[in-house]
Chain A
């Protein structure tokens, strides 16, 4: 598997680590059912999935990777900040 980093181009899987499902963080800092759901429960799709990946051995960027979990095909990669519109 290789991932096209928007800053570095096509790079080997070894340079990246997956940082989990790209889910929106719940509002507020207090513990709630929404936080439990955010931390633990997953759609865990067999198919298209949106995940955070960290390019730790490369440019250090956080990416949102749209990837097929059955074929390992990568459909889209964007910088995490840009994706969130931040």
Chain B
């Protein structure tokens, strides 16, 4: 079933009776070439690119709950490629290019909206840093524009430009950044993978990873044993638990990141805007709710809910930057569980077990990485070589200290990112 304007017209005229399920709810087979543990955005994207680019379709995606029920369904939907360091820079650049063609690739409306991401600066030093970052982005082939105060005012006149502590000095504008509809991204990848023959198996919790002679042989699940030549762990938020089944201890701590959404409002905020002093970022969803968030709560947590101090900090930062949002009522807040790595950057690499692959450590940046991550992991699984855009996302960089990607320059240590 392909989506098209003609199809929508036809269905509209015939009572919408012709739509079918977007993917097959498959039963597990005894064996596969590749098993992907985790039916979230990254896992489903991996399945899509394995099938599409590499012709590998004897693949199962095992999901312990329902497809797209984890962090792909509870993020703040921002897509961008404004990183400064080698490694992250080319990877997120690649991912953004895939985002730009994703709807055509998947024949699925993911509501990709390149509404622009604006990072505000509030000091000369910060402006200098943004100039440097912007140049790095442009050298990478991406877009960046350093705006002065008046340039920012043209885009977002409602900011508190003369805030006593944090006056707005300018901003770095990344016009190709924006937002996408997070659930549709999962559904689009799921549909494409399923159509190409991948088995998407829900309610199938992996309980063990079978290893013989240093090589992975398959997995144990709540629905029986399944053999596989290759297994990928793509379960950010729960990476430590699944990796432990293979005897691995990862450089990851799980932390909670809160997010908030207000009641629906008329369109008032056209871009993604981030505050440069204190952690705060905001956009307006197509439904009208203001979607915003801040920093981690900064203690390890699997609770999927945070505590009040960070909620208060986020509200305070929001009021300091955009006083007009004070009238809006918060509808709900939630917490997602983040795989935090010591340097704040991800890992796509072979595990120290033959045939086992790791995709983890996405910190609070997993959503924008979804297509790039799927493409890179599929390439790694299919060829056993890293994708050219992901050669630096190595697991051993913490041990060697070579190629750390510490964007905030706070050090490669837990609790600093």
Interface on A for B, CB 8 Å cutoff? 1, 12-14, 17-21, 33, 36-37, 39-46, 49, 51, 69-72
CA separation between A18 and B298, bound complex, in Å? 7
Interface secondary structure of B, over-half rule: loop
Task: Tell me which residues across on chain A come within 8 A of B303, comparing CB atoms.
Answer: 69-72
A85–B307 alpha-carbon span in the complex (Å): 33
**How far is B244's CA from A50's CA once the two chains are assembled, in angstroms?**
18
What's the least CB distance linking A71 to chain B, in Å? Answer: 7
State the interface size on chain B (CB cutoff 8 A): 25
Cβ-based interface call for B414 (8 A) = yes
Say yes or no for B279: interface residue by CB 8 A criterion.
no
B residues engaging A (CB < 8 A)? 238, 240-241, 244, 249-254, 298-303, 307, 309, 342, 398-399, 412-415
A40 touching B253 in the complex, CB below 8 Å, given contacts A13-B309, A18-B299, A70-B303? no
Q: Identify the closest chain A residue to B397 (Cβ).
A: A40
Check A69/B414 contact, CB under 8 A, given A41-B251, A43-B240: no
Complex Cα distance A19/B303, Å?
Answer: 19
Partner of A42 from B250, B307, B309 at Cβ < 8 Å: B250
Contacts of B413 in A (CB 8 A): 39
B249 / chain A contacts, CB cutoff of 8 Å? 37, 41-43
Q: Nearest chain-A residue to B309 (Cβ)?
A: A14
Q: Is the CB of B252 within 8 A of A18?
A: no
- Residues on the A chain within 8 Å of B253, using CB: 21, 42, 44
Q: What is the CA–CA distance of A45 and B250 in the complex, to the nearest angstrom?
A: 12
- Apart from A1-B307, A18-B415, what 4 extra A-B contacts exist at CB < 8 Å? A1-B299, A12-B309, A69-B302, A70-B302
CB within 8 A of B254: which of A19, A20, A33, A44?
Answer: A44
Partner of B238 from A20, A36, A43, A46 at Cβ < 8 Å: A46
With A13-B307, A69-B254 known as contacts, the answer to whether A40 contacts B398 (CB < 8 A) is yes
Check A40 against B238 for contact (C-beta < 8 Å): no
Interchain nearest-CB distance for A45 vs B (Å)? 8
5 closest A-B pairs by beta carbon, nearest first, are A44-B240, A40-B251, A18-B299, A40-B398, A41-B249
Q: Can you list 30 A-B contacts (CB < 8 A)?
A: A1-B307, A12-B309, A13-B307, A14-B309, A17-B298, A18-B300, A20-B414, A20-B415, A21-B253, A33-B399, A36-B398, A39-B398, A40-B342, A40-B398, A40-B399, A42-B240, A42-B250, A42-B251, A42-B252, A42-B253, A42-B414, A43-B244, A44-B240, A44-B250, A46-B241, A49-B300, A51-B300, A69-B301, A69-B302, A69-B303
Q: What residues on B are CB-neighbors of A70 within 8 Å?
A: 302-303
What's the nearest-Cβ distance from chain A to residue B284, in Å?
30
Output the least CB separation between B411 and chain A (Å).
10
Which residues of the partner chain A approach B398 to less than 8 Å between Cβ atoms?
36, 39-40
Q: Which residue of B lies closest to A65 (CB)?
A: B299
- Known: A18-B415, A42-B251. Contact between A36 and B300, CB under 8 A? no
